[in-house]
Structure 1
Amino acid sequence: MKKIVLLFVFCLYTFLTAFGQQKEFISYTVKKGESVRKIAKRYELRSKDILRVNPGLNRRPQANTVILIPNVNYNEEEEKARVEAKKARVEAEKEILNSQNHIIQAKETLYGVSKLYNVSIESLKELNSDILIEGLKIGMVIEIPKEKMLSPEEVRQNEFNYWAEYFVLHTVVKDDTSYSLTRHYNVSEDELLSLNPKLTEGLKLGMVLKIKDILNEDRLLELDELVFLDSIVTKDAIDVAMLLPFKFPKNDTLSKEQLFTNKDNLVSIITDFYLGATIAMDSIRNQGVSVNLNVYDTENDRYIIDSLIKTKQLDNKDVVFGPVFNEHVNRVARKLKGTPVIFPFYSSEQNIFVEDNIVKTVTSRKLLKEEVLKYLVGIYKSEHIVLVGDEKLSSRKELRQIGKYLKEKNNSIKNISFIQPENGYINNDRFVQELDALGVNWVILTTNDKVVTADVINNLKSIPSDAEVRLFAFEKGNNFDKVDNNILADMNFVYASSGFLIDSIPEVSGFYAQYLRKYKSYPSEYASKGFDVVYDVLMRMSSNDSLNLSASFKNGNSKRVRSSFKYEQKAYGEPVYNTAVYLRKFNEDLSVELLSLERDKKEKELTDKALSIEGVESIYTETNNFD
């Protein structure tokens, strides 16, 4: 049908071209010295033919007079045919317009047609397969999609409607900051950036932000089944005790209402941990294991803890979570020999733990530091190293130890700069002096002090543009809470963590779903920790028929929502340590990747080879053989 229409249009076009110029009269401008007779002779006419159509014309008209000349080629029948053809063309065009078709004109493009009808180029191609084969041709008739493209305003409204269905939204108002939003909605800055890439340009008044997913009832029910289905062996019930300092009046039965009444920071942390732990126990129960829980409010009181032990309320427990203050841990573990005592948080003094039934669930800062330093030694080429500490004497000692370690492990490292605050801050001029203005600098932050961190970041922002800087830290603690991730991305910030980047897997979404269903809010960092620690311990105990936690350690590491666990016992009779460590690096696009020392060492070798005289082809081959 389309070809027939095309043929009709082509014939119509030819016909109109042939006869479109045939007029009954043509105009003529008289030249100087010309007479009517001379003009008539030129057009093969008689003088009276010209005088008849120009009444009152002098036989010797003045120069530049415009007169009419009869067209000797004019044919009345042909003119009628031309008029009819014109009418037919008009009708054809009307029919084409009514049927949502378009005739391609000379020099017309698909883009021009898409703009003319407010439709997309892709939709034109979908409806007109001939375009893909033959390309656009003059006279081709193409179909126009009936569904028009939306206006920018309509597109934006549709986008908001979609967001409102699937995301919690926030409209930016005066005094909003990234920090305040992360705290108010209990999300990380990385999560905000992943949902709102334009945040890299900063917050703007009126900006609508996607905060986090809205999980509807159907999705919640679906995700309920997805929380880390590990191997279950035991058929026995697990008796669990929790020693947590809620600081509430003595009450063995702690209601949800009580847990939410106190806004104290420590209480909030402990409360969130407990709420996450309850989700973990629910998940274990859903997999067929009976869990019996007793919660004791220790109020951080030694006498309450001693009373629990003395009255044998902790006897016959399969596992005890807590105490959370390090001064009580050794004593409880000593009294409960044979029962795992789980220390759920990190303490800088956890090295004082000595009992072999103590399980330290958080990787020590020492291990994090060792992993970062090992990585630096492995990839070092010729960078200038700057070690930054705080004002404490212990920090000065640590800086010297780190410098000695780096030089011993890599003899290419010769010069290391050391910076500590003077009079409470780090002077900018002094900081810049320690940098290599033309080379690559590694600035290694060895302290979690907030003031020192702020000084380092501010000083790095003001260094000469020729100097290249990479920033390293042993961990990303709360000293980085107010540091813009764009700055960290610019410096390819590297740090160590015991957590693994697995936020997107269904099991993690399952935890969020269960938490949201039960508590009508999203889990905090400490709620996630409560889930991770309790779920991992109970699941390990359930993996054998004797509920033996230590027997599960040989089975390797495990990854949960925010934490990973790789337990080791360095020597017989010592506590058990979590040794899971991952190196993370901020990329310039604000993504965070896991680093591999072996991979990066290989990259370094290939880079060195590239700088040598030859080997380009072998480099390409090796690069494409990376694991």
Structure 2
Amino acid sequence: MKNFLAIIIFVFSFCASAQNYKTHKVKSGETIESIAKRYLVTPFDIYALNPDAKADFAPNMTLIIPNSKVKNDEIVEPSKEIIDYKKHKVKRKETLYGLSKQYKVTEDEIKKANPRLYSENLRKGDRIRIPRYKTVVSKQTLSNTIKKYTVQPSEGKWRIAYKFGITVQELEDLNPNMNEVIQPGDELNVPNIANNEEKPTDTEYNFYEVQPKEGFFRLKVKLGLTQEQLEELNPGLEETGLKSGMVLKVPSDVEVASTLSEDFDKTDLRDNIKNTDTKRLALLLPFKLHLIDIDSVAEVKAMMKSDKVLSTALDFHSGVLMALDSAKELGISTDLKVFDTENRTAEVANIVDNEDFSNYDAVIGPMMTKTFDRFAAAVNSDNVPVFAPLALPTKVSRNVYQTIPEKKILSQRMVNYIKADSTKTQVVIIADQKHKEVSNNLKKEFPVATQLFSEVNKKGKDKGKDAYFIYPTTFEGVFKPGKNIVFLETDDVSFGSSIISLLNGLSTDKIEIILTTTHKSKAFESKDPDNNYHLSNLKFHYATINKEYDGENANAFVKQYTERYSVSPSKYATRGYDLTMDILLRLSAEEGFGNSDTETEYIENKFRYNKKLFGGYVNEASYIVKFDNLKIVEVD
């Protein structure tokens, strides 16, 4: 029997050799990745020829290895050799970045010469070594695994990664200084494969990066493409299977669908704590300490009352501190460093120059959009997760986590909720002239809906402008017995108040009118004392980023906060608590931030991050609430 197996292996090895393949016997300690690197191929190439290796990879296993596509021609390549070291005494405010520019070496080269800097920050008075190099020109062969590639028009990172058969992360690793958005003419390092081995990237196709834990079912939901369609578009996918980071070719008209309409089981990360190492967090908030005279208590109190930005920052900070205490009770210790941005981009730049944020596990803030954008761009290459706590960043780059769901997410959530209501009799859309486009988009979602618009002035100097009213007679015969869903789309307070009052009068035992909107604006917050009564009578529904905690059944956080600060927590304090707890628990549970299947919930907020097709992550978790007996409650 043994002789027979030996003959089979010999014959297969001979055939493999004839077809430009070789064999490799796995040694103890080797991985698919290390073997692929040795033979200058990718793990995908090995799995394609050895599908059993996915489940049964072990020492002494014989693998079939394809010949590398990487060209190994001899090239002339300059390299650097250390001559000696220069001693440097660190001065006040000096940083690794500044020293690297001054001495024309990299930050990593300085760290290698001073290993303690991998775990410690640079301090005034430190005496460090700065390496000095000479350039040596040598002929290289085995290291000739990359080549330079010039970015062509309409090419992005996903398209280039697909073209050379690597992941976006691998492309970014090859090009640590690559811009977030690459431009035609940029030069990038890419695998040195022959030109005829490059995959074609036709302009009629787009490209998608597979996320961790994504299977074909999840991609069907996101992309609207079946497993068979994806395999047809991507030859070799059937053999390799889906891999995190793999770039897939998809039709150019494919849009990544949101997971808004799906029901997600809440994940309690408290039950899954694995990593209890101290977590390093940075918190950047606009305290504006440079404007405060600490000797004048009255002035400080007045500023806290009049400056909304400062009071919001203080509330948020108080919630963060409460979260640290709660995490400590779970065995999670935190090293928090707080920075005052002063709400100035110049101060943000100063903070970045004097602090190495690559040593942090996560950064919360800055709080305002302008300062957040400046900071996120500055630390992009540090690969540290940066969370936008209270504002929408202008750009969601790869290191950014937008914690506030976008308006379109809330709008679609409300539409999906109404679509799923099988008890509705009809849908009516009421809008002012400014919101005609919103109304027309809703009409596409509900084709048989009735549309009503505000009147337009027909005379005088305001001719052609919105009059912000609808004649009561317009509503005659509009509503039918049963449940009538009414979308009211406006941000005008007087128009909103008049329509809400009118609808309240038309709602009867037989004709039920349920009011909703795709965007809860100030139009629903009239000072009319009857407004909340009318909204409650109409069971006003809307989507929101957060719910209100039940003050009558206060939880442990609310009680502890009230005991410590002698006031009830504001929505900003609660958000500071919720966001910080979520970050610490995800780090401790090693769950990661970008798993779109993981939805967590705390006091008033919940989080489920979904990766944008080009960029970072956006929180898509939201609530649907309604007015019920003059209270706002979450809809089951």
State the TM-score, normalizing by the size of structure 2.
0.49
Between Structure 1 and Structure 2, the one with more helix by share is: 1
Computing the radius of gyration from Cα coordinates, the structure with the larger value is: 1
State the TM-score, normalizing by the size of structure 1.
0.50
> Larger relative contact order (C-alpha < 8 A, sep ≥ 6)?
1
Between Structure 1 and Structure 2, the one with more strand by share is: 2
